[in-house]
Structure 1
Amino acid sequence: MTSAERASGRPGHACWSYDDPAIFEARARAFLLAGLTAGDRVSYVSPEPVPVVVERWNSTPRLREALHSRAAEIVSVEQMYGDGVLAHDAQLDSYATTIAAALADGYAGWRIAADATCLVRDPQRREAFARYEHLVDRFMRTRPMSAVCGYDRSRLDERVIEELACLHPTSDPGTSLFHLHAGDDGLVLDGELDTSNQDVFATALRHTDSGSGDLVVRAADLRFIDYRSLVHLHRHAESRHGDVVLHTDLAPASRLVALLGLTRVRVEAAG
């Protein structure tokens, strides 16, 4: 759980990967049951036919009761996200409406678990959904919403899952060595950046881009960064016509920036 999630008391935005859909559904049900206990309205987004899932959920009294009272719902991927390339603004507007309705009905917020595998299987839809992962992460920072995104390892290669997992504040062990996600005044970066994931990092910078000018990257929990990732930060800053201000206590970062002449990267102490 990130510091922002601890402060809000909500579990935030997580990425889970799985080999067995039944395992993902079981984890999702536990996550949503916890939401019901916390007073949230909850939604489960399934690639399976909805009646099949409803039948399984009805075997659990708490979930059966929640479905009956409309504290819980099960919807298809198409119902929640459509069947084409995701429209970011429309999706977030829909979420805002859902949250407002939940609050008006007396709920504490909204919690959603979604199997998003089929939304990222072709490059065009994957590009749109990766950008959405960052936008919804930023959206959730100021709203009573928590979400889990699930991806099937048997249908997606490791690189695809890594590119998506790294855009969440938290993910299952082994899915990504780093995370780059929304912060209060820019981005938050944690984990390790080395030769194995420097291309994924460059892709993540593109997916999280928010326009032009200077970019603050809070990296207090960054454990390692190699020169290639610093070069990517420099090039990203150039494309934004600004500087990247990297807040980290990693001493080698400052030395590498000076040695390589990366004038668009400023390293400052983490605070």
Structure 2
Amino acid sequence: MSIDLSAPARGSSVARAAGALIDKRSGGCHDHACVAYTTRAERDRIAVEWLLEGAALGQRLLAVTDDDDAGDRLRAAFAAADAGYELTHTSLGEVYDLSAPIDAEAQLAHFRGEVASALDAGFAGIRVFTDITALNLDPARRPGHVRWEHVADAFMAGGNPVAAMCAYDLTATGQDLGAVMAVHPLRHGPSRVPTTFGMYWRDGHRFLEGEIDQFSIPALIGALEVLPSEGADLDVSGLAFLSVRASAVLAGMDPSQRAHRSIRLVNAHPVVERVWSVMDFDPRRLIKRTDS
């Protein structure tokens, strides 16, 4: 099985929150979030909040971690909430092959099965919390993980009743997971995590929103590498700030990029158009769309 994301699939429009997680706790059935944490207590608190939001929506609750206590402390934190819901904990190694790069197709098949099982049991889909720290300790695995998150995001945005949160330990991974964070609509981390933008799916289109400054360049380059080699359209109507160098990256003119893709920016703000003109970038890469 292969996944073709060269053209956004148009499915039913679903409500999805985007931006800073702390400000956008909508509790939707299709939300996709990423959190950077520094302590287990912080992680477990965020996980419990996320899972309880799904319980209120009738979703089956799943937690996937590589904890040395087999998830006992997380389950205890969930039980302490005394909400009366059931949480299923699975070890990370049962869901992912930790000895090989992520196989996005295999992972998608796994989650399709989980959704089908939950729906058959009368749930309104699934809500998943996954600690992805162990999946990203090896820098060589990270590009594949970025691609998997983008594939999973398309699956959720396509109307499938999955809400998923990823979390990683900054003390173990450092700050090099910016691209992983960036391909989530909802994001949260300490101020030193420079992922102030998101690239995600909505209404059958890819969106790039937020603020992209000099510090965000590595994350932007890493996120763009999941796009099809032949190029893609990005709706940038939600970009609040775009530095000159970030514009060069999107134009495929930055020397630090390993691969240059033909990216077209949809519904760019006049300030972006002005930068494009001053830098003499290809004007054919700026297009307008009226069905956003």
Q: 1:247 aligns with which of 267, 273, 276?
A: 267
Query: C-alpha displacement at 1:42, in angstroms?
Result: 0.9
Quickly say closer, same or farther: Cα 1:192–1:58, change in 2 above 3 A: closer
Out of 122, 146, 152, the position equivalent to 2:138 is: 122
Secondary structure in 2 matching 1:155:
helix
Q: Is the 8 A contact 1:233 1:265 kept in 2?
A: no
Contact 1:257 1:265 (C-alpha < 8 Å) held by counterparts: no
**Structure 1 253/73 Cα, relative in aligned 2: closer, same or farther at 3 Å?**
same
Aligned-partner residue type, residue 173 of structure 2 = L
Matched AA of 1:146: A
Q: Tell me what 1:178 maps to.
A: 197
1:21 aligns with 2:36: no
Q: Once the 2 structures are TM-superposed, how far is the Cα of residue 96 of structure 1 from its aligned partner?
A: 0.4
- Counterpart in 1 of 2:8? none
Q: Which runs of 4+ in 1 moved over 4 A?
A: none
The offset of 1:57, in angstroms, is 5.4
Taking structure 1 as the reference length, what is the TM-score of the superposition?
A: 0.85
Do the aligned residues in 1 keep the contact of 2:142 with 2:177 (CA within 8 Å)? no
Q: What is the CA–CA distance in structure 2 between the aligned matches of 1:171 and 1:114, rounded to whole Å?
A: 14
1:94 aligns with 2:113: no
Is 2:32–2:165's contact at 8 Å kept on the other side of the alignment? yes
**Structure 1 residues 67-78: aligned runs within 5 Å:** 67=86, 72-78=87-93
Deviation (angstroms), 1:60: 3.6
Does the CA contact (< 8 Å) of 2:44 and 2:77 recur in 1? Answer: no
> CA offset at residue 256 of structure 1?
1.8
Q: Which structure 1 residue ranges, 5 or more long, are not aligned?
A: none
Q: Name which of 212, 224, 230 aligns with 1:212.
A: 230
Contact in 2 for aligned 1:253/1:267 (Cα 8 Å): no
Residue 266 (structure 1) aligns with: 286
Q: Does 1:111 align with 2:117?
A: no
Distance 1:46 1:257, change over 3 A: same
Deviates more, 1:260-269 or 1:118-127: 260-269
* Counterpart mapping for 1:57-76 below 5 A: 59-60=79-80, 62=82, 66-67=85-86, 72-76=87-91
Q: Is the alpha carbon distance of 1:36 and 1:259 closer, same or farther for their aligned partners in structure 2, counting shifts above 3 Å?
A: same
Distance 1:150 1:55, change over 3 A: closer
Change (3 A) 1:74 1:230: same
Higher relative contact order, chain-length normalized (CA < 8 Å, sep 6+): 2
CA distance in 2, matches of 1:97, 1:212: 31
18-27 vs 85-94, which deviates more? 18-27
Farther-moved stretch of structure 1 (40-49 vs 191-200): 191-200
CA-atom RMSD in angstroms: 2.6
Per the TM alignment, residue 216 of structure 1 is displaced from its structure 2 partner at its CA by 2.2
Instruction: Give the gaps of 5 or more residues in structure 2.
Output: 1-13, 18-25, 254-258
Question: Do the aligned residues in 2 keep the contact of 1:102 with 1:110 (CA within 8 Å)?
Answer: yes
Pick closer, same or farther for the CA change 1:156–1:33 going to 2, 3 Å: same
Structure 2: how far apart are the matches of 1:193 and 1:58? 36
- The structure with the greater share of residues assigned to helix is 1
Paired residues of 2:198 and 2:210 also in contact (CA < 8 A): yes
> Closer, same or farther in 2 for the Cα pair 1:15/1:167, shift >3 Å?
same
The alpha-carbon deviation at position 93 of structure 1 amounts to 0.5
In the alignment, which of 34, 38, 43 is matched to residue 57 of structure 2?
38
SS in 2 for 1:151: strand
Cα drift, residue 82 of structure 1:
2.2
Q: Deviations over 1:37-85 (max 9, x none)?
A: 211111011221426347625844856x544xxxx31011111212222
Count of matched residue pairs: 258
Structure 2 partner of 1:47: 66
Whether the 8 Å CA contact 1:130–1:164 is kept in 2: the answer is yes
Q: Distance in 1 between matches of 2:36 and 2:146?
A: 15
What is the one-letter code of the residue matched to 1:231? A
Q: Output the amino acid matched with 1:92.
A: L
